Amino acid sequence: MHGQRELADFLQNLRARLRPEDIGLPDYGDRRRVPGLRREELAQLAGVSSSYYTRLEQGHAVGASPEVLDALAQALRLDEAERHHLHDLAQGARRRPVGRRPPEECADASTLELLESLGDVPTLVSGRRGDVLAWNAMGHALFAPHLDFSAPQNPDDRPNLTRLIFLDTQVRALYAAWADKARAVVQNLRMVAGRHPDDDRLASLIGELSTSSTEFASMWADHSVRPCESGVYEMHHPWVGAFMVAQQSLQPPQNREFHLVLATAPRDSASQSALRLLAQTVSAGRAAVANTTGPAPAW
């Protein structure tokens, strides 16, 4: 029933966003008692009966065919990410919960080798829930220098990117436009939740954040979806000051649920100089520790 409710809420939210004038319908002003389109208007646009669409929005209908879903997507003017999410939710509504614990996530050797080969490019490996499975020295220094470098090695202590963005004050302070970064993370997390409705750990994370952060709860209730593939952010780093980076999320071929998150800056820019200074700071810190306590730590 939970999957059907998610599908119903998504459809209701999308219908409320679409204005009558967007599709050439008259707007009757105060006489229109609902935001966006009426159910019967959307049903007519999609070529389905009003009663059937009403059951979909009420969470009482399952088995919507791909053709019906595509018709609804076209009527609602969905983009590619939203259309895929609609199909994922419909598939989840048909699925019975399996009730088994998902396998522990672990970055394989080839992914870790790729991570280390990137050298001074700040990079981390995240699992499908946003847990940090590994990071290189620069990734740790850029994204969360106040945390223990070895934290990703212990599944019980792994930092979670969404949790850090919303609940860690030092990570929040890294982003000048924090709300833009937070919204991108939530939109991506909604897509993941649509693909994995039976992931109890993911559901627990969403529940925790909804309770702990009113900002997360508000963004989650918006039902917006978009893959967090790239973005340009101004960062205020405690070690090297302010600079701009392009954050990109790449999927290693060994596991399409994992992501390599990289941060880069344009060549010969002030931001690239800041990243170089950060790399020098990391290198100097490792050397200082090595001179006093033996082998240098990974950061």
What percent of the chain stands above pLDDT 70? 86
Let me know whether 117 and 83 are in one domain.
Answer: no
Residue 114 resides in a domain: yes
Contact 202, 174 (CB under 8 A): no
Residue 127 resides in a domain: yes
Let me know whether 59 and 144 are in one domain.
Answer: no
In Å, the largest CA–CA distance within the chain is: 77
Tokens of 155: 């599944």
Neighbour-count burial of 6, counting CB atoms closer than 10 A to its CB (0-12 exposed, 13-18 middle, 19+ buried): buried
Closest CA to 141 of 288, 278, 286: 278
Q: What is the CATH number of the domain that holds 87?
A: 1.10.260.40
Closest CA to 237 of 183, 180, 176, 280: 176
Let me know whether 46 and 147 are in one domain.
Answer: no
**Residues of the domain holding 136:** 109-174+227-293
Let me know whether 25 and 90 are in one domain.
Answer: yes
Let me know whether 59 and 124 are in one domain.
Answer: no
Let me know whether 54 and 140 are in one domain.
Answer: no
Let me know whether 78 and 169 are in one domain.
Answer: no
Let me know whether 67 and 10 are in one domain.
Answer: yes
Residue 221 resides in a domain: no
Task: Please identify, among 94, 129, 156, the residue that sits at the C-terminal boundary of a domain.
Answer: 94
Let me know whether 161 and 242 are in one domain.
Answer: yes
The set of residues, in sequence order, having a beta carbon less than 8 Å from that of 19 and lying 6+ positions away, is 27, 36, 37
**C-beta pairs of 150-154 under 8 Å, 24+ apart in sequence:** 150/298
**C-beta pairs of 195-198 under 8 Å, 24+ apart in sequence:** 195/88, 196/102, 196/128, 197/2, 197/3, 197/6, 197/89, 197/92, 197/95, 197/97, 198/92, 198/95, 198/97, 198/98, 198/99
Q: What is the CATH number of the domain that holds 122?
A: 3.30.450
Residue 239 resides in a domain: yes
Contact 274, 243 (CB under 8 A): yes
| Number of domains present in the structure of the chain | 2
pLDDT beyond 80 at 179:
yes
Q: Give the pLDDT of residue 24.
A: 67
Residue 90 resides in a domain: yes
Closest CA to 7 of 85, 74, 97, 77: 85
Task: Please identify, among 39, 59, 94, the residue that sits at the C-terminal boundary of a domain.
Answer: 94
Let me know whether 130 and 274 are in one domain.
Answer: yes
What confidence tier does 298 reach under pLDDT thresholds 50, 70, 90?
A: very low
Residue 247 resides in a domain: yes
Residue 123 resides in a domain: yes
Residue whose structure tokens are 């994992």: 258
Task: Please identify, among 94, 124, 158, the residue that sits at the C-terminal boundary of a domain.
Answer: 94
Residue 184 resides in a domain: no
Let me know whether 23 and 51 are in one domain.
Answer: yes
pLDDT beyond 80 at 2:
no
Q: Give the pLDDT of residue 34.
A: 65
Q: What is the mean pLDDT of the chain?
A: 87
Let me know whether 126 and 61 are in one domain.
Answer: no
Per residue in 225-266, pLDDT tens?
Answer: 998 889 999 999 999 999 999 999 998 877 778 899 999 999
Residue whose structure tokens are 């004038």: 21
Per residue in 54-112, pLDDT tens?
Answer: 988 887 767 788 899 999 999 999 999 999 999 999 887 776 656 566 678 888 888 88
